[in-house]
């Protein structure tokens, strides 16, 4: 796949154009390299912004039929103690500006209650973005610091483009990497490890420390963008989790239909690859992720404005499986601790497809299906997650809205035992409601 990037990318875009996705007024997509990598040309030396996301989750909290405990999947993170609860999912303050016409910066702190701020079982706000971009070299801007790494479209999006409270399982589990205490050693089997919650150092929010070269090139309505990064596998909270560099690259081609900025209309296809070498138990392990994506977005906050997205991704090596339960008093540690399978032979893959339609200027309906097949190489641990999500949004402004969603969830276990079968049969559907408020 990697050797055919240009042909695959052009083929994806050409197929979308041939399908007849024609121009209409409005705007609704973005070049995230541009929008997150540099400050607007007219930005001041110092600017402050932010957003907050009050959220409600509701699900029955069904117990499994064997142990009579509520499975992890039926509880709300990051503490996984309740099936129905309310909280602030994200709360972020951001500082950005231009030091001169060729140097811009962006710094952001995360204060919400989520996987990023859940470190060693406690609440720990942290720096989620912090980089400086130098735009002196034509065709090669250089970004240095804590960077959202080149990857899937769903992992690179800014908060204003989220259509659902709950992320697609394939992106959440395969791309949002949990950092683990590499000094902790607990062998589950020759192939895997067990990680208690007190040794988890938060997820990375799709970001890695490092340096990236990127830029975009316009030719009429066509826009080609590239980003290539070298960094380290780790976070501010976890430190460096590897003694070898991580690499990430993304190529994308867009046909711009109109508009500009974070809500432009376009047809865009991308291909990407990530490789890192986490170190655990004195051993280096490979982590590979790669995929393709396609999106069509047009008519943001216009009646009959519409969007379509498709993402396909695969991974091998370093696959983690969240705990089945959350209670440490269960007899088997494998039931309540995260399982890590780091060997290169471990695999996972999945995809998501979603569509959206504005019924009025303010009201948008959304539908998404995501599929994630985790560890098909390991019959005892193979799990298949399938979720249909039905969403409804009311947009007050481009940066302030209310989102409601109902998530129909299924967990398939191809080779069940009594415990896994009881968990799979107990999986709840979820309702989630969120206000996204920017300032």
Q: Answer whether residue 158 shows pLDDT above 50.
A: yes
For the full predicted model, state whether its pTM sits above 0.75.
yes
Weakest-pLDDT range from 24-33, 138-147, 195-204, 301-310? 24-33
Q: CA–CA separation, 288 vs 272, rounded Å? A: 11
pLDDT of residue 29: 52
Closest CA to 248 of 272, 215, 284: 272
Q: Answer whether residue 8 shows pLDDT above 90.
A: no
pLDDT of residue 40: 86
pLDDT of residue 186: 66
Q: Answer whether residue 182 shows pLDDT above 90.
A: no
Q: CA–CA separation, 113 vs 105, rounded Å? A: 26
Give the CATH number for residue 7: 2.40.160.10
- Number of domains forming the structure of the chain: 1
Q: What's the pLDDT tens digit per position in 317-336?
A: 999 999 888 776 666 777 88
Mean local confidence (pLDDT), 298-314 = 96
pLDDT of residue 185: 61
More confident residue, 181 or 75: 75
Which two three-digit tokens encode residue 205? 């929010």
In the beta sheet, which residues pair with residue 217?
Answer: 224
Q: CA–CA separation, 271 vs 53, rounded Å? A: 31
Report the percent of the chain where pLDDT is more than 90. Answer: 76
Q: Answer whether residue 7 shows pLDDT above 60.
A: no
40: which residues sit within 8 A by CB, 6+ positions away? none
Q: CA–CA separation, 334 vs 252, rounded Å? A: 41
Q: CA–CA separation, 273 vs 228, rounded Å? A: 10
75: which residues sit within 8 A by CB, 6+ positions away? 61, 81, 82, 83, 326
pLDDT of residue 13: 33
Q: What's the pLDDT tens digit per position in 12-46?
A: 333 333 333 333 333 345 899 999 999 988 889 99
More confident residue, 198 or 388: 388
Q: CA–CA separation, 32 vs 147, rounded Å? A: 12
pLDDT of residue 193: 87
Q: What average pLDDT does the chain have?
A: 89
Which two three-digit tokens encode residue 231? 């960094």
Q: CA–CA separation, 132 vs 126, rounded Å? A: 18
pLDDT of residue 169: 97
Give the domain extent around 406: 2-438
pLDDT of residue 108: 97
Count the neighbouring beta carbons within 10 Å of the beta carbon of residue 366.
Answer: 18
Q: CA–CA separation, 297 vs 258, rounded Å? A: 10
Residue 83, by phi and psi: left (phi above 0), alpha (psi -120 to 50) or beta? alpha
Q: CA–CA separation, 47 vs 39, rounded Å? A: 10
Q: Answer whether residue 95 shows pLDDT above 90.
A: yes
Mean local confidence (pLDDT), 382-400 = 97
Q: Answer whether residue 175 shows pLDDT above 70.
A: yes
Q: What is the 3-state secondary structure (H, E, C) of 221-286?
A: CEEEEEEEEEECCEECCCEECCCCCEEEEEEEEEEEEECCHHHEEEEEEEEEEEEECCEECCEECC
Between the two ends of the chain, the Cα-to-Cα distance in Å is 42
Which two three-digit tokens encode residue 294? 């396609």
Weakest-pLDDT range from 24-33, 92-101, 157-166, 350-359? 24-33
Which pLDDT band holds residue 228 (cuts at 50, 70, 90)? very high
Q: Answer whether residue 191 shows pLDDT above 80.
A: no
Closest CA to 209 of 246, 172, 156: 246
Rg from Cα positions in the chain: 21
Q: CA–CA separation, 204 vs 351, rounded Å? A: 21
On the question of a cis peptide bond just before residue 78, with omega within 30 degrees of 0, the verdict is yes
- φ/ψ (deg, to 5) at 300: -60, 130
Report the percent of the chain where pLDDT is more than 70. Answer: 90
pLDDT of residue 326: 79
Q: Answer whether residue 4 shows pLDDT above 60.
A: no
Q: CA–CA separation, 266 vs 27, rounded Å? A: 8
Q: What's the pLDDT tens digit per position in 273-296?
A: 999 999 988 889 999 999 999 999
Token look-up 């951001």 returns 94
pLDDT of residue 231: 97
pLDDT of residue 424: 95
pLDDT of residue 284: 93
Q: CA–CA separation, 192 vs 188, rounded Å? A: 5
């Amino acid at each position: 796949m990697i050797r055919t990037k240009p042909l695959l990318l052009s083929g994806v875009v050409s197929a979308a154009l041939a399908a007849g996705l024609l121009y209409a007024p409005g705007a609704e997509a973005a070049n995230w390299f541009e929008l997150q990598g540099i400050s607007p040309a007219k930005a001041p030396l110092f600017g402050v912004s932010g957003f907050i996301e009050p959220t409600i989750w509701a699900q029955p909290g069904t117990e499994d039929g064997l142990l009579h405990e509520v499975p992890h999947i039926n509880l709300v993170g990051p503490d996984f103690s309740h099936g129905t609860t309310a909280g602030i999912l994200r709360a972020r303050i951001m500082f950005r500006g231009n030091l001169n016409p060729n140097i811009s910066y962006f710094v952001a702190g995360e204060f919400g209650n989520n996987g990023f701020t859940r470190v060693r079982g406690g609440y720990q706000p942290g720096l989620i973005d912090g980089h400086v971009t130098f735009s002196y070299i034509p065709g090669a801007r250089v970004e240095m610091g804590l960077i959202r790494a080149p990857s899937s479209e769903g992992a690179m999006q800014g908060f204003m483009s989220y259509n659902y409270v709950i992320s697609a399982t394939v992106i959440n589990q395969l791309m949002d990497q949990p950092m683990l205490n590499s000094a902790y050693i607990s062998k589950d089997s020759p192939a895997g490890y067990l990680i208690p919650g007190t040794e988890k150092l938060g997820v990375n929010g799709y970001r890695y420390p490092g340096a990236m070269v990127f830029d975009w090139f316009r030719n009429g309505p066509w826009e080609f963008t590239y980003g290539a990064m070298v960094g380290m596998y780790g976070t501010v909270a976890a430190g460096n989790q590897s003694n070898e560099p991580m690499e990430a690259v993304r190529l994308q081609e867009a046909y711009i239909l109109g508009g500009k900025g974070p809500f432009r209309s376009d047809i865009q296809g991308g291909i990407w690859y990530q490789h890192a070498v986490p170190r655990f138990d004195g051993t280096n392990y490979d982590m590979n992720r790669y995929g393709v994506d396609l999106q069509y977005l047009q008519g943001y906050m216009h009646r009959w404005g519409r969007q379509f997205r498709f993402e396909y991704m695969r991974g091998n090596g370093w696959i983690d499986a969240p705990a089945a339960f959350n209670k440490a008093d269960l007899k088997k540690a494998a039931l309540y601790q995260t399982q890590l399978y780091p060997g290169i032979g471990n695999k996972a893959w999945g995809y998501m497809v979603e569509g959206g339609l504005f019924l009025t200027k303010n009201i948008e309906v959304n539908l998404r299906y995501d599929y994630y097949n985790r560890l098909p190489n390991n019959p005892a641990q193979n799990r298949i997650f399938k979720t249909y999500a039905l969403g409804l949004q009311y947009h007050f402004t481009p940066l302030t809205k209310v989102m409601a969603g109902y998530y129909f969830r299924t967990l398939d276990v191809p080779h069940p035992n009594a415990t896994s079968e009881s968990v799979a049969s107990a999986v709840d559907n979820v309702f989630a409601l969120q206000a996204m408020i920017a300032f």
